[in-house]
Amino acid sequence: MDIRDVTKLFDLEYYDGPLLSLFADVNGDFYLYKWYDMAPNAHQWLVWRVQYETLLRYLNGMATEFDLLHEDINEPFYLVEFSEKGQPVVVEILAHSHTLETYSELKTVYFDPELCPNWKAVRHFFRLKPIELEAA
């Protein structure tokens, strides 16, 4: 993954700045940027690739946020910081076990459209891409 080649689609959660955002690359792969923590001179973002089907299940309230994280143990979790010029830099690759343990409380957390500043746009965007949910 080259994190410089992804384009932001939507913020899914926002309060004084994004907390969870959806990005895509030129291949049509989706990535989530989840605010992770503060470092001395940057904020840190947990970045990982999500399957379209799982993402749609999440947005439809059929999968938890933990399911998004737990989806594929072969997908790395990148810890990303932005430079002062806004360039993303991978500062660490996090272990799956550690990340899943950190977010174990998300096993009961489903997508909340109330927290989504772009819900209408998100719905519209995904309606344009029909999917066989049963096959997911």
Partner 1 sequence: MTLKYQAEMQQLGIENCPPPEYDYSPLTAFRFIFKDLDHPNNFKPVALIFPQRLNEFRDYAQKCQTFGLSMFAEKEKRHFMLLQKKTAGRFSKTVGTCLAALKLGDTDGLHSDPFERSDSHITFHEFKDTDLAQCIINVENL
For partner 1, the binding residues (CB under 8 A) are 8, 11, 13-21, 33, 35-39, 41-43, 45, 65, 82, 85-86, 88, 102-103, 105-106, 109, 112-115, 117
> 114: which DSSP letter?
G
Based on CB atoms, which residue is closest to partner 1, 96 or 136? 96
Based on CB atoms, which residue is closest to partner 1, 84 or 134? 84
Burial of 68 (C-beta count, 10 Å sphere; 0-12/13-18/19+):
buried
Based on CB atoms, which residue is closest to partner 1, 66 or 126? 66
Alpha-carbon separation of residue 19 from 11, 12, 44 (angstroms): 8, 8, 11
